[in-house]
A and B are shown apart, each in its own frame.
Chain A
């Protein structure tokens, strides 16, 4: 496989998207590496279908989320959580009220289903419901309904995690 430079450059520029998806979907560093590699390879395979009609970041999100949702792990180690030791260390260093809230929210997001995680990720990127709907293949109304439910769920669950901390 000899990827062309244009693809490498684009991917380098938008690498944060892949990191984001890996962090959100995999709790274990080894699994993150696997998913990182898988997304990169799948993006390269699908690069021929990128016509430039959409932004590269939107296209990459679609590939990355499709890969993450259908990614098959060799074993089922433990439930996926976006929160890990690294985040914990960061929080300890910062030792702030906000950091603790962020960690609590991380934990709550980690408990969501794969589909809900994808919705949250796109929502955090400030995509409109219409755009999220197009990427996910559902209507904007459906996205709105789901996001309302997710927000309520995250509020409740993050509160629990925050109290526990």
Chain B
């Protein structure tokens, strides 16, 4: 049997709403909450923008008014990082809103959605990776730049009981930092892939299918 032979019958069947949908009015549908990936992403970006602004205000305050010099440098660095990422988030939000309000051809729509998701994943990853050196290495070295106000004699006594030489301490710190950084790196990759990886792959398959000329 051919598709063309059954065209009329197929159309008739497809147009009939299934039983539960008959009770479903447009008005009720309009009151619902959207479940699209783009809407979820938009919500996430909004939350990140608001949180970033709040933290930025706090960091800038600390950068200018903290009692300790290292804290001023530390929070100043964070402020710069947030100032870099905030416009990126705003641009992303604008792109999401523009795509939501459009009715593009299927292929363009898929390409734009994929690009937005890839961009989000890339920036999220970059931001997390940027935090590793700032939070661990940079913060650690800053504490040694200042006076001795941060020194903890009890902790130093404990460290000297465990390690017999400064080389051992340095090796331990090196290994600790590498393991921690690698852990954060792989966890972030895994987490982002779990969140959007499969979805992006599906979208890319659809694009490839559309592009293929068979």
Contact = CB atoms under 8 A, between A and B. Distances in A.
Given A38-B35, A71-B36, A23 B106 contact: no
B145 interface: no
A11 B29 CA distance: 12
A138 B210 contact: yes
A158 B1 contact: yes
Contact of B6 (A11, A34, A37, A105): A105
Interface stretch (B13-21, B74-82, B156-164, B170-178): B13-21
Interface string B170-214: 000000000000000000000000000001000100100111011
Nearest to A121: B14
Interface in B1-35: 1-7, 9-11, 13-21, 24, 26-27, 29-32, 34-35
A46 B110 CA distance: 16
Chain A contact surface mostly: helix
Given A40-B30, A135-B106, A33 B10 contact: no
Interface in B80-126: 100-110, 113
Interface in A26-58: 29-30, 32-34, 36-38, 40-42, 44-46, 48-50
Contact of B106 (A1, A72, A118): A118
B210 A115 contact: yes
B105 A134 contact: yes
B105 A32 contact: no
B37 interface: yes
A114 interface: yes
Nearest to A46: B103
Interface in A127-165: 134-138, 141-142, 145-146, 149-151, 154-155, 158-159, 162
B101 to A, nearest CB: 6
B117 to A, nearest CB: 10
Nearest to B113: A70
A159 B107 contact: no
How extensive is the interface on chain B, given as a class? 35 or more
Contact of A137 (B3, B6, B16, B210): B210
A135 B105 CA distance: 5
Contacts of B102: 46, 49
Nearest to A116: B209
Interface string A82-108: 101011001000000011011011100
* Residue with the greatest number of chain B CB neighbours at <10 A, chosen from A16, A69, A149, A150: A69
B1 A90 contact: no
A41 B29 contact: yes
B1 A105 contact: yes
Contacts of B103: 46, 49-50, 59, 62-63, 66
Contacts of A3: 30
A89 to B, nearest CB: 10
A62 B105 contact: yes
A103 to B, nearest CB: 9
B30 A44 contact: yes
B18 A29 contact: yes
**Most chain-A CB neighbours within 10 Å: which of B7, B106, B206?**
B106
20 contacts: A1-B30, A8-B27, A16-B15, A19-B14, A20-B15, A33-B24, A38-B34, A40-B32, A41-B32, A46-B100, A46-B102, A46-B103, A69-B110, A70-B36, A72-B35, A115-B106, A134-B105, A137-B108, A150-B3, A155-B2
- When A and B form their complex, which 8 residue pairs have the shortest distance between CB atoms, in order from nearest? A137-B107, A137-B105, A40-B29, A19-B17, A37-B32, A29-B20, A37-B29, A16-B15
